[in-house]
Structure 1
Amino acid sequence: MIRAQIKGVGHYLPENVVPNSHFEKTLETSNEWIISRSGIERRHFAAEGETTSNLAANAARAALADAGLDASDLDALIVATSTPDLTFPSVATMVQHQIGMKGGFAFDIQAVCAGFIFALANANALIVAGTARRVMVIGAETFSRIMDWTDRGTCVLFGDGAGALILEASDGDGTSADRGVLSTDLNSDGTYRDILYVDGGVSTKTTGYLRMEGKEVFRHAVEKLVATAHTAMDKAGVTSDEVDWVVPHQANIRIIKGTAKKMNVPMENVIVTVQDHGNTSAASIPLALSVGKSQGKLKTGDLVVTEAIGGGLAWGAVVLRW
């Protein structure tokens, strides 16, 4: 059977590093308070004039270099983002142009923090269906553009960045020993719209700011992340004791630890980057994958479970073999 194998990864972070101490000047907060509640120590903010497509294009170039490919080798390009440059055209078509990809097709997916999982599942489906042979999937965000800087409960949590991954069609035996994407699980429930959203948009003629009921999001996050991870593992025919790495959405260290504990996966088998990047929404998982590879953690044949939850609520998981 056809499997979508990982051929390369890459990431990009804006040069501007913002430590927790930055917020002490304007908010009733402290470095210790932020770390104790989120695990975040610093994050990156995009520079003036630096857009989501710029970040995504830089991550795309890094992934192409890692894979030893040119943009012309791609059949499709998918960008997961909730912070596009413009209402339209899509960020993906802008990236397509910026990296010199002349053929194929490109489009965006919007599932907030779960966006990369949804995009990865769609890329896998395109490859398995034979619609495309080689697909780049990017998560990219400039969440600093939608922060309310007076709300200490949200503005200290988010950062900007981009990560990219290239999938390529390859033959597999149809077993869990195959390399590539082994299973996906996607979910959403609009009942919970009001616990995590942006209070503006095109139809309301406002930009809006991110609003979040932190305790409610936390309550749903661990339960739903564990459930979707187990569903995806069941589909792939693997168990938690076979997992080499969990690469979770990097939102909050307490959520990451709580999820790992309920999955029966020790923290030494979890890739954690939230301390350095904050919550980069759709970019957080590909960023963590790229960092994990650069640190020598992710090796050929490793079994990886990755999961995320975001506004919608939307959540899901992907099981893959590196």
Structure 2
Amino acid sequence: MRQAAVLSGLGSWLPPQVVTNDRLARQLDTSDEWIRRRTGIGQRHIAGPGIATSDLAIEAGRRALKSAATDRADCVIVATTTPDHPCPATAPMVAAKLGLGTVPAFDVAAVCAGFLYAGAVAEGLIAAGTVRTALVIGADTFSSILDPEDRTTRCVFGDGAGAAYLRAGSPEEPGALGPFTLGSDGTGADMIMVGGGGSRQPLRAENIARSDPYFRMQGKAVFRHAVERMSTAISTAIEGANWTLDDVEVFVTHQANLRIMQAVASHLGVPPERFPVHLDRVGNTAAASVPLTLVDAASAGTLRAGQRTVLEVLTEVVDGVTVGLSARWSGRGETSVAAVDRVG
């Protein structure tokens, strides 16, 4: 029988520094009311000086291992757009710091969709028998690539990390990951982009003035695409799992914007209460968004063992990638929830 990847542990970490809307209002032309009305966000956690993406990933990974009652993993995959360095990858450093030795470790760069892409890769490795366990981490310090004068991005993004421990098991087990729905649309690459620093616009002395090192976003265009693509991805993933919308008890979506989540729920005809909200306290944490929401929902009791759950995200940078995943949440009862911390 083909091995399935079974979710058996979760962990999260948020840097301790909290930036409220009121604090941003003192720095930018904005207000708490403006931010909440447009995004639903009240605050976000920001990595302070000396805190890198690997630091967040290591702590989230450690807690996921503890949640799964193990100290071993056969591979480590870190989904991030903000690695510690362009080279080498962040994942091998995370694996070493976690005491996992020389296991296979690599990064996945798919921005907000990164965690689910990394999960799909881990599922494939487990199904092929290459590994039996995998630690999948979504971690980003988006504050490091935001223009300090751009309120449209500074108000939205926060830093954090979330991790999931996957093990080989039966496709019939609670917690077994179901079908993934993956796709991309490279024609929308300019909607969300960091223009400078790549091979197209290298950061060199002769052209540094023309190379924009900051994250830029066309908010209105992203909103329109997000509602359509997220709704389609959810429907496709549910169809692939032979479920109906009524079968799904929890929809864990990328926490980009509360209005997007509400529009998707309305488009699908699903009560918004079935969409856990976490961004009001942490903002859009990019690759960490989905696992952080899973941890928060499990800790709050919204997500319980045996529930049918759909994870979904529309990436917000580069390719307009749509990702859907259906799964029956497994958890380990009260032990699992107690082992993961909501906030650093």
Aligned to 1:104: 103
CA distance in 2, matches of 1:269, 1:24: 32
Q: Is the 8 A contact 1:81 1:111 kept in 2?
A: yes
Matches within 5 A, 1:1-322: 1-70=2-71, 73-173=72-172, 179-203=175-199, 204-205=202-203, 208-310=213-315, 311=317, 312-322=319-329
Measured after TM superposition, the shift of residue 178 of structure 1 is: 5.2
In 2, distance between residues paired with 1:10 and 1:265? Answer: 28
> How many Å separate the matches in 1 of 2:107 and 2:94?
11
Deviations 1:240-284 (A, max 9, x none): 100010000001000011112222321111111010010000000
Distance in 2 (alpha carbons) for counterparts of 1:52 and 1:211: 20
Question: CA shift at 1:212, angstroms?
Answer: 0.6
| Superposed CA offset, 1:217-241 (max 9, x none) | 0010010011111111111111110
CA distance in 2, matches of 1:89, 1:244: 41
Does the CA-based 8 Å contact 2:39-2:259 persist in structure 1? Answer: yes
User: Residue 113 of structure 1 aligns to a residue in which SS?
Assistant: helix
CA contact (8 A) 2:122 2:134 kept: yes
User: 2:79 and 2:32 mapped to 1: Cα distance?
Assistant: 31
Aligned partners of 1:2 and 1:170 also within 8 Å: yes
- Distance of 1:74 and 1:193 partners within structure 2: 35
Could you give the per-residue CA deviations for residues 163-220 of structure 1, whole angstroms, max 9, x where no partner exists? 00011111234xxx75310110111111001111112114311571011110000010
CA shift at 1:303, angstroms? 0.7
Compute the displacement of 1:58 (Å): 0.3
Kept in 1: contact 2:96–2:102 (CA 8 A): no
CA distance, structure 1, for counterparts of residue 190 and residue 59 of structure 2: 34
Distance 2:28 2:101 in 1: 47
Q: Could you report, residue by residue, the CA deviation over 1:123-181 in whole angstroms, capped at 9, with x for unpaired residues?
A: 111111111110111000000001111111111100000000011111234xxx75310
- What SS is found at the alignment partner of 2:10? strand
CA distance in 1, matches of 2:167, 2:150: 43
Letter in 2 for 1:137: V
**Which shows bigger deviation, 108-117 or 263-272?**
263-272
Taking the aligned partners of 1:181 and 1:147, their CA distance within structure 2 comes to 34
Contact conserved, 2:192 with 2:216, CA < 8 A, in 1?
yes
Residue by residue over 1:271-298, the C-alpha shift from the partner in whole angstroms, topping out at 9 and shown as x without a partner, is 1101001000000000001111111222
CA distance in 1, matches of 2:101, 2:212: 32
Residue 13 of structure 1 aligns with an amino acid whose one-letter code is L
- C-alpha distance after superposition, 1:77-108 (max 9, x if no partner): 11100000001111111100111111421110
Alpha-carbon separation, structure 1, partners of 2:269 and 2:123: 27
Report the TM-score, using the length of structure 1 for normalisation: 0.96
**2:254 and 2:228 mapped to 1: Cα distance?**
14
User: Secondary structure of the equivalent of 2:269?
Assistant: coil
Question: 2:335 — aligned with what?
Answer: none
Structure 2 CA distance, aligned partners of 1:118 and 1:207? 27
- Which amino acid in 2 is paired with 1:265? V
Contact 2:146/2:215 (CA < 8 Å) preserved in 1?
yes
Equivalent-residue separation in structure 1 for 2:285 and 2:169 (angstroms): 31
- Identity fraction in percent: 44
Aligned-residue Cα RMSD (Å) equals 1.2
Alpha-carbon separation, structure 2, partners of 1:226 and 1:124: 24
Taking the aligned partners of 1:305 and 1:168, their CA distance within structure 2 comes to: 19
Structure 1 unaligned segments of length 5 or more: list them: none
Please identify which structure carries the higher strand content: 1
Structure 1 ranges of 4+ moved more than 4 A: none
Letter in structure 2 aligned against 1:319: S
User: 2:253 corresponds to which letter in structure 1?
Assistant: P
Amino acid at match of 1:309: L
